[in-house]
Structure 1
Amino acid sequence: MSGGRGRSGRRGGSGSPCRDDQAQGERRGGVHDRWDSHGAQSPPGRVPGASADRRTPPWFHPGDSSAPRQGRPRTAGPAELPTGATASAAYQTVSGADLPGTTTTPDGEKTDYTYDSAGNTKSVAVTGTGGGNQTFDYNPATPPCGGFEGQRCKATTEMSSTKSVSIAFTYDAKGNLTKVTPPAPLGVTTYTYDDLGRPSTVRDGRGVTVIYEYDERDRVVKVDSSHYLAVSYAYDGNGNLVQRSGNTGVVGYAFDPLNRETVRTLQDGSQTRLTYRAAGNVGTRTAEKWSDHSQFTSLTVDGTTCSGQYGSTDRSERIRLGDTFFRNGPPGLSAKTTGGVDMSFNREPGGTLNSMPTGGKSYYYLTDAIGSVVALADDTGAKVNTYSYSPRGVTRAATTEQVPQPYRFAGGYRDPTGLYHYEARYYDPNIGRFNSPDPSGQEKSPYLYAEDDPVNRIDPSGLLSFGDVTGMGDWAMTGCSVVAAGYAGATTAAYS
């Protein structure tokens, strides 16, 4: 239910709605939201565009004198969590920014980070359960992999004491990502762009090509693939998606004068009508209760109610939901426990996922150019999970999952209702819209996700979208760069 880009979340193996059975989100509908008198809007939270590396550890609260700040000692902790466990973090100043140096989670897992002089992550070393190492190489002043100085050229993961694998990135003169070369036997993924810098074709390691067409407002109007049927999209003058046409038929969407979806008409003619609270929040989707701080205090699904508990005053730092407990570190959610089963999440300083230790084994995330998880590999390099999405993040039938994990489209945490959580808000991939207005007022449209351009833009905070993700430009420089891309079939899975 939470955890955009890993801020909070849970995962369980049973069918209990208090556990994160991802399949439940695919089949639910017709349940109801309950919002408090304050409209259940998330507070603005962190400043969009600022490096995620600068986050204050989630076990500190505003006014805590031990929280790291510019010009203060950068050692935080040990701090005692509500569960009685302790955690700590030490920071270092690089290129004028306070970046994580060493963090220790409540379960004793230690992560050490190193950086180059520009603040790019050079290595991440994890000791403890499921530990591992990653190193990164970047373009110098004369770029060997094309593009510009500072763009990532290679990511190397130590799979075991005797085996390492690398993924190489190549760019064009404009800094656009043109090729991703994963370790053999996986195939190369290539990208081409139109004159406006928009992705026009993507060819994955299996030879599957996806072609994109846009209108004059940079909106995707058609996605065509050599192995998937074409899908077309139509919009109104305000940028709202009003029709989706494909091999399964036509789906229509109607909106009110405030650009809020009011009626959804499916292929068989059946309709779903949406209503809204005074603050603009959707009132007919999930049975949730909210606190005065816009936090879920309980979630009712299929007649079962799960209670939630938080470690801060926004939605990002959960410490419990139902029988699942969460542990957070500076980069994001570090671990969760459900029914005595632990699952950890190793990350770069910016919060980008790189591996998931669970059950005594480590699994590695493979992502595409916008950060969507497209595959999970074990420590031998063998594929265990694959994920396929529509352009707006709907999970496709081609998805296969042997090892359950919650992260999906654009690095977001997918909750049991089928919504994605991106820190300040929840996103409905079926229509490409958030279920509440932008609490910061920074977006042109209060409901649209990524300015209605999910192929080229992302909104990890739910407050402000930004582009240049396929070129790994600004995104890479702020620490949110792609950990691993180019898995065979990955790109088509993400965009078909």
Structure 2
Amino acid sequence: MFNLLGGNHARCVVRRWDRLVIVARCGCRRPAGELGPVSRGPAAAAAAAPAPDVWEPDPDAPEVEVGGAPPSKAWTPELSAPEGPSAARAAAPPAANEALGDTGAYTFQEFWLDGDEGDQAIKVNVGSGNLFIRSKMSELRGPGVPAVAYRVYNSQNDIDNGYIGPWREDYMITGLSISSSTTTYYDGTGARWVFTKSGSTWTSPAGVNASLTQNGDGTWTVSYNRTGEKVIFNASGWLTKRQDRNGVGITYGYSSGRVVSVTDAVGKSIGMDYLINNGAAHSLDEVGAAGRYTRFFYDSVGRMDRVNEEGAGRPFWTMTYDASDRLVTMGGDGRSIAFVYDSASRVTKVTQSRTGESSVVTSFAYTATGTTVTDPRGNTSSYEVDSKWQVTKTTDQLGRTQSQTWTANSDVQTTTDGFSTGGGQGNVTEATYDQLNNQTGITLPTGAATQALYAQGPGCTGAQSGNPYRAKCTIDPSGNTQSMTYDAAGNLTAKTDTTSGGTASTTSYTYETSAGTVCGGKAGQICSATDANNKKTTYTYSGGNLIKTTPPAPLGPTLYEYDAVGRVTKVTDGNAKATTYAYDAADRITLTTFHNGQTLTNVWTPSGLLTSEADSATGTAITYKYNLLGKQTERKVQGPTGSGYSNTVTNGYDKSGNLVSTGGLGATTYAYDVANQLTALRPTSGSCTTSGNPAANSGCVKFTYDNNGHETARIFPGGARQNTTRDTSGRPTRITATDAGGYTKADVGYSYTQGSSDRIMLQKRTSHLEQGIPVGAISSYSYDSLNRLTKAEEKNGATVNASWTYTYDKASNRTSQTRAGNTGATAGTITYTYNNANQIASTSADTTTWAYDGAGNQTRNGITGQTATYGDRLQVTASGATTYTTFGPGNDLQLKSVTGIATTTLYSSDLGLIGKDLQGANTSWTRSPDGKPIALTQVASSYYVTDHLGSVLGMFGNTGGWQGGYSYSPYGEQRSASNVGVIGSNNIRYAGGYEESANLYKLGARYYDATLGRFTQYDPAGQESNPYTYAAANPCNAKDPTGTSVVVALQECWAWPQVRLAIS
């Protein structure tokens, strides 16, 4: 979709314990792949680390008094009659499930004030104009549905229930209003859904995707079909429980008709206290647990005007209201946001402010059919909506249109892309659904389609019964099929490749039962995962917390310890090395202590922005500054006195949040069109012409886009350019690079068709002109039933010029590789064997033995004999003759490397690697606002030409002359390079990764060995089915730039998020 308001530059947000695996292994506030500066010698003195803000649960805090049963009288929302500013909408009030809250079908304009959306979401419904805010008051992590309490605000609110007027507690506006023929479900956001009685059952309204059941004991259950979550009420409609599909969750306790406690599945509770006036509760006083509370204060007419969240590690908020009790301003931690409304309580203006900065204003204008939004730069976009306030058409600031249609159930049925602008036909992506509103298929404009089947039938003859909202079979665009089985609760128990002639591989899972006797957990917690090679990992729990993960030997177990509120305080890795964690009251990690006693100290603002990190190992501190939108404006690295590696990078932004300048090493200026698309970048000392090609030696690079916002051309100094053409699904079909004279220097074509059928995956690649490959050679790709690459065959006419053949075991370990012809590497076959932990045990090319440590890090390569060592932070400390120094945990932020007497110092910004110093020879990189490498500067500047994966095909010089190119094997081994001048010294190559040594790439958290097609470290995120396999063994279509998550390279071409999800 279009980027209507810009803001394409990431800001720092809260890092909490629930993201601990990433934080502990990869570090905080650093995008994947970032490298950074370090001293050229030993630290002279450690930088003084600020004292960490550590909050621990108070053992002497009074226990929460758990409430009892809810009232027996009928629950009612106590709806207000429209009056004052609401009178204007009385003639056409919102329907039962429309306008208020967040139903999942609305489109919102979002605004940032603090934290992330999980802490506080502030957004305007672009259809109805309703201001919706949901702010977390308290939370306790636990199994199943965790204990959490929110306060909610709707500018068009008509629900009177609650004790923090004009806001509402989410649990006080969750209930059932029951009559003999209808029951209205209020979902806690302000939205409501009317169920109609039909005999002894209740018919669900469109869009809710849930069922209503009256149980045998008179209680009621709303069951969400797609998630399995249950919301349970007493016979009178009062909220009593929320549970996951396994029946594990939270219980609400009452006293005198008000909620006084929320208790999770292991007995931890949040308490609510009230101010009492004449014996009756009239307002909420505080919410919290374990000694950290959110406290509320009220003005003379009973409106909540202050919220003190300092006890919970967050800001002290102040609010003001107009005469109609509508929120006018809200501020805290030095920032504020203000709202203006029309007579129908629709937001017409939002102003974001901070002392010393220019305010940022977004405005809204409404018609009978839609809304026009004026962004902070003064440019307008518009939305057309249907009678349910669902967006049917979007027109961006350039006048480009996209449209979508909806099913009766409020699911997106079709999207028509930006080529419909000006009356064009547009390209249509279509979704299908069954009678239960399960999504059964997605079809791209070019014809590739995926299917999901939820019951027995053609293509799914062996499906189990039950769980009608869980897919039993899937069929991908290549015709490969998978079947899934579930337990009675709907937990996935097995996934099997059922493709005819396929791998027949199965992964399976077991879970804890309600008895808690399998692995010590709560119902539905995973007890074991068995991979396709039948190797099992087991999990052990205590008190709802995971305390031990036992992978297959020879990997060692990982142990976890927790505090009283469920935060991880200690992790002991497979090498038996322990790391401990301390937190502030908002659950942000403030102190990490490693096994050797070294520490990393983090300081946060109350709003959740990281302001400093200090690492005792190197005596280095990194400090950060931000603007009113939470964008990072400064990143300052401070080393010990005399170390010589301190570095400061500054960032400037326009009012829409677009990065417009960077200062310091590689200082760059960026320009945008009215739709917030990058149109040009240049060194701060360079220049860009307003029209025509960039001048030679100007440093200017220009960009053009199609109607869907996809890049079509990148124009370099002197007029050299990279042109990209695409098919109707937005996928690149040809990438051509021409020099300043218009002569083609690199030219690659792509085809996704097999026979006459469209496929998602790349089927052919034509090297019209590519380094070291015969002109016009065509590479054909074959895949197995798990979509793993099995063969790449390159033909020059009828002659096979080169080929690569791969086989895998069922767990995606490569068992053989055969190279033949002009591959750039030794021809022949190498076979591989593996141990139970998916680690290489031996190969047919071995010169020595393979070795790994207990945490899964490869310590010796059996083919080359190269060794590696690792530190207490699971970071690489040495590889071969090179030693490394890193900042923080893991490998993300590498500071320097030393090989013999040669020292390389690396410099970074929040965009990634921006420079290095190799013994006085300086290199800097220019990056786009989203971190893509654009140019390299050594003595002079050179500009990257890249393929669909981001692999560098070649480089142009300052005047538009071709400097040479590269080609690669399917898994990224260098095949050919001109290796003259900058082509030989450039490190950014395959998939845009940083090549540290021949065919060894630093990809974020891990190192990737292209000769093996796998990582040399265990997956730190635990997200991949095989912890070492690269890109799911599908390197022609996917990559893993972070070392923690596979990215399908073509996803950025699919504008519709559901398409990405279904195809991935």
TM-score grouping bracket, smaller chain normalisation: 0.7 to 0.9
**Structure 1 residue 199 and structure 2 residue 758: aligned?**
no
Q: Return the TM-score normalized by structure 2.
A: 0.36
Pairing 1:285-324 to 2, within 5 Å after superposition: 285=861, 286-301=866-881, 306-322=882-898, 323-324=903-904
Task: Tell which structure's C-alpha radius of gyration is larger.
Answer: 2
User: What secondary structure does 1:421 align onto?
Assistant: strand
Q: Distance in 2 between matches of 1:329 and 1:437?
A: 27
Pairing 1:85-484 to 2, within 5 Å after superposition: 85-92=646-653, 98-105=657-664, 107=665, 109-116=666-673, 119-128=676-685, 132-140=699-707, 149-157=708-716, 159=717, 163-183=718-738, 184-186=742-744, 188-194=747-753, 195-205=758-768, 206-227=775-796, 228-247=801-820, 248-266=827-845, 270=846, 272-285=848-861, 286-301=866-881, 306-322=882-898, 323-359=903-939, 361-397=940-976, 400-403=979-982, 404-416=985-997, 418-467=999-1048, 469-470=1049-1050, 472-473=1052-1053
The residue type equivalent to 2:967 in the other structure is S
Deviations 1:156-175 (A, max 9, x none): 22x2xxx2233222111111
Q: Is the 8 A contact 2:833 2:840 kept in 1?
A: yes
User: What secondary structure does 1:387 align onto?
Assistant: strand
Q: Is the 8 A contact 2:33 2:892 kept in 1?
A: no
Q: Is the 8 A contact 2:875 2:891 kept in 1?
A: yes
Q: Is the 8 A contact 1:9 1:413 kept in 2?
A: no
Q: Distance in 2 between matches of 1:326 and 1:64?
A: 14
The residue type equivalent to 1:275 in the other structure is A
Q: Distance in 1 between matches of 2:649 and 2:828?
A: 54
Task: Quote how far apart the aligned CAs of 1:319 are.
Answer: 3.2
**Structure 1 residue 68 and structure 2 residue 68: aligned?**
no
Task: Quote how far apart the aligned CAs of 1:416 are.
Answer: 2.6
Q: Distance in 2 between matches of 1:225 and 1:137?
A: 32
Q: Is the 8 A contact 1:89 1:100 kept in 2?
A: no
User: What secondary structure does 1:87 align onto?
Assistant: strand
Task: Quote how far apart the aligned CAs of 1:400 are.
Answer: 3.2
Deviations 1:191-237 (A, max 9, x none): 11032221111212332221112222212221111242222211222
The residue type equivalent to 2:699 in the other structure is G
Q: Which residue number corresponds to residue 35 of structure 2?
A: 8
Task: Quote how far apart the aligned CAs of 1:444 are.
Answer: 2.0
> Using a 3 Å threshold, how does the CA distance of structure 1 residues 59 and 313 change in structure 2: closer, same or farther?
farther
Q: Which residue number corresponds to residue 20 of structure 1?
A: none
> Using a 3 Å threshold, how does the CA distance of structure 1 residues 276 and 64 change in structure 2: closer, same or farther?
closer
The residue type equivalent to 2:895 in the other structure is I
User: What secondary structure does 2:670 align onto?
Assistant: strand
User: What secondary structure does 1:237 align onto?
Assistant: coil
Q: Distance in 2 between matches of 1:413 and 1:326?
A: 12
Task: Quote how far apart the aligned CAs of 1:309 are.
Answer: 3.5
User: What secondary structure does 2:780 align onto?
Assistant: strand
Structure 1: segments with no counterpart, 5+ residues: 11-34, 46-55, 141-148, 478-496
Q: Is the 8 A contact 2:887 2:895 kept in 1?
A: yes
User: What secondary structure does 2:719 align onto?
Assistant: strand
Q: Is the 8 A contact 1:40 1:294 kept in 2?
A: no
Task: Quote how far apart the aligned CAs of 1:296 are.
Answer: 3.6
Q: Distance in 2 between matches of 1:210 and 1:418?
A: 21
Task: Quote how far apart the aligned CAs of 1:259 are.
Answer: 1.9
Q: Is the 8 A contact 1:4 1:412 kept in 2?
A: no
Which structure has more relative contact order (CA 8 Å, sep 6+)? It is 1
Q: Distance in 1 between matches of 2:578 and 2:934?
A: 32
Q: Distance in 1 between matches of 2:966 and 2:576?
A: 37
> Using a 3 Å threshold, how does the CA distance of structure 1 residues 325 and 230 change in structure 2: closer, same or farther?
closer
> Using a 3 Å threshold, how does the CA distance of structure 1 residues 432 and 386 change in structure 2: closer, same or farther?
same
Q: Distance in 2 between matches of 1:81 and 1:409?
A: 32
Deviations 1:367-426 (A, max 9, x none): 111011121222233333322211111112555343211122111111236421111111
Task: Quote how far apart the aligned CAs of 1:40 are.
Answer: 11
Q: Is the 8 A contact 2:972 2:999 kept in 1?
A: no
User: What secondary structure does 1:345 align onto?
Assistant: strand
- State how many pairs are aligned: 414
Q: Distance in 1 between matches of 2:978 and 2:33?
A: 20
Q: Is the 8 A contact 2:814 2:832 kept in 1?
A: yes
> Using a 3 Å threshold, how does the CA distance of structure 1 residues 399 and 449 change in structure 2: closer, same or farther?
farther
Task: Quote how far apart the aligned CAs of 1:348 are.
Answer: 0.8
Task: Quote how far apart the aligned CAs of 1:292 are.
Answer: 2.5
Q: Is the 8 A contact 1:426 1:435 kept in 2?
A: yes
> Using a 3 Å threshold, how does the CA distance of structure 1 residues 58 and 474 change in structure 2: closer, same or farther?
farther
The residue type equivalent to 1:203 in the other structure is T
Q: Distance in 2 between matches of 1:371 and 1:443?
A: 22
The residue type equivalent to 1:124 in the other structure is L
Q: Distance in 1 between matches of 2:779 and 2:829?
A: 21
Q: Distance in 1 between matches of 2:1036 and 2:855?
A: 29
Q: Distance in 1 between matches of 2:610 and 2:842?
A: 39
Q: Distance in 2 between matches of 1:84 and 1:255?
A: 43
The residue type equivalent to 2:34 in the other structure is R
Structure 2: segments with no counterpart, 5+ residues: 1-25, 38-572, 582-588, 590-607, 615-620, 687-696, 769-774, 821-826, 1058-1064
Deviates more, 1:383-392 or 1:395-404: 395-404
Task: Quote how far apart the aligned CAs of 1:137 are.
Answer: 1.6
Q: Is the 8 A contact 1:68 1:75 kept in 2?
A: yes
Deviations 1:467-496 (A, max 9, x none): 1x2475269x9xxxxxxxxxxxxxxxxxxx
Aligned-residue Cα RMSD (Å) equals: 3.6
User: What secondary structure does 1:132 align onto?
Assistant: coil
> Using a 3 Å threshold, how does the CA distance of structure 1 residues 73 and 175 change in structure 2: closer, same or farther?
closer
Q: Is the 8 A contact 1:232 1:245 kept in 2?
A: yes
> Using a 3 Å threshold, how does the CA distance of structure 1 residues 392 and 77 change in structure 2: closer, same or farther?
closer
The residue type equivalent to 2:819 in the other structure is G
User: What secondary structure does 1:76 align onto?
Assistant: strand
Q: Distance in 2 between matches of 1:185 and 1:287?
A: 46
Q: Distance in 2 between matches of 1:40 and 1:382?
A: 54
User: What secondary structure does 1:180 align onto?
Assistant: strand
The residue type equivalent to 2:860 in the other structure is T
> Using a 3 Å threshold, how does the CA distance of structure 1 residues 424 and 77 change in structure 2: closer, same or farther?
closer
Q: Distance in 2 between matches of 1:335 and 1:262?
A: 38
Q: Which residue number corresponds to residue 385 of structure 2?
A: none
Q: Is the 8 A contact 2:611 2:625 kept in 1?
A: no
Deviates more, 1:56-65 or 1:112-121: 56-65
User: What secondary structure does 2:733 align onto?
Assistant: strand
